[in-house]
Chain A
Amino acid sequence: MRRLLSALILLTSTGIAVPAATAFAATSAGPPGPQRFGVRLLDVPLSEKDNPRGLRYIVDYLPPGQVIHRRILVKNEESQTARFTVYPDAAQIAGGFFTGDAGETRSELTSWITVQHPTLTVGPGQSATDMVTITEPLGATRGEHYGEIWVQQAAPARESGGVSVIERARVGIRIYLAVGPGGAPPPTNFAITSLTGLRSASGRPMIVAHVLDTGERAIDLSGQARPTDGPGGASRARTQSRRSSPSRPGRQGT
């Protein structure tokens, strides 16, 4: 069994101080609906402990027949007891976005996933842990599989204009699971193929980096840009981009 680093990070009760890796859902004020809640990974492989992606998502490379376990922490941020459902869903990367499919869509990856507690009841301000187990069959298809573990809350049905409306909110943890023969994991790499300067319609200067995923795994980009040696030797402070911009192997994007 793989060595796991148990990385329990305490969540504070305020949304502001919650670690960035926690995914949260909230709905606007109004009639009683889903509450504010969040989910994060508790277990990270030692090999991924310094990898920002590994801390945030389930990222792994396994030969067929392996089993991995990941604990997740579900935090109820509201003042009422809440009931959550936890389930796997298919996902895909397209157009620079990692998107979970609608509802509870099945895929080859989701058929390998079990959740220890498909429903959780969590008291106000409390948290609960759940266990996600991924059992790869011997005949698993080689390559990288994408999925999502959703934590969902559904509000009681309410009438609106003669129609019964059920409001659902869900937050998830992405899964990037590569299946291969074992040994060294397939390479993750990318190249910046060009840098372009332009001005938007509102006159705002933009630097656009075109990226080609040259590895065999998906990438999630973040980064920074700094214009230097401008007119009169001017330099500007670094501009950070926190936007995650996923890309699949062999795909180009900006």
Chain B
Amino acid sequence: MTFAPGKLLPDGPWQANVTLVSGFTVVSVQATVQFGTHRASLSLWARLLIILGATVIVIVLASALARRSLSRRR
């Protein structure tokens, strides 16, 4: 079960008081939680650029190796 208490909440620490209910059964717990620092995730374009760059490097290396082996044979 996930709760979203509000976007402006500082990292904490906080005492989280959670009560869950299913029919007649009620369970409550309390625990210390820390929301932590948001780690910026890479955008889709950044990921695509990294993949593209890695692909280009691999192609360049492969072609360089192929040329080298051809020149040795000659």
| Chain A residues near B (Cβ < 8 Å) | 50-54, 59, 188-192, 194-199, 201, 203-209, 211, 215, 219-231, 234, 236, 239, 241, 243, 245, 254
Residues in B whose Cβ lies below 8 Å from that of A53: 22-23
CA distance A220 to B20 in the complex (A): 10
Tell yes or no: B15 within 8 A of A by CB: yes
Residues in B whose Cβ lies below 8 Å from that of A198: 35-36
Known: A205-B7, A236-B9, A254-B1. A222 touches B31 (CB 8 A): no
- Cross-chain contact B17 with A225 (CB below 8 angstroms): yes
| Chain B residues near A (Cβ < 8 Å) | 1-7, 9-25, 27, 29, 31, 33-38, 41
Number of residue pairs spanning A and B whose beta carbons lie under 8 angstroms apart:
147
Known: A207-B16, A221-B21, A227-B16. A195 touches B6 (CB 8 A): no
- Interface of A, secondary structure class, is strand
Closest to B9 in A: A205
CA distance A59 to B24 in the complex (A): 12
Residues in A whose Cβ lies below 8 Å from that of B34: 197
Residues in A whose Cβ lies below 8 Å from that of B38: 199, 201, 203
Nearest Cβ on chain A to B52's Cβ, whole angstroms? 23
Known: A203-B38, A205-B9. A239 touches B4 (CB 8 A): yes
- Cross-chain contact A197 with B35 (CB below 8 angstroms): yes
Known: A197-B12, A197-B33, A228-B15. A206 touches B24 (CB 8 A): no
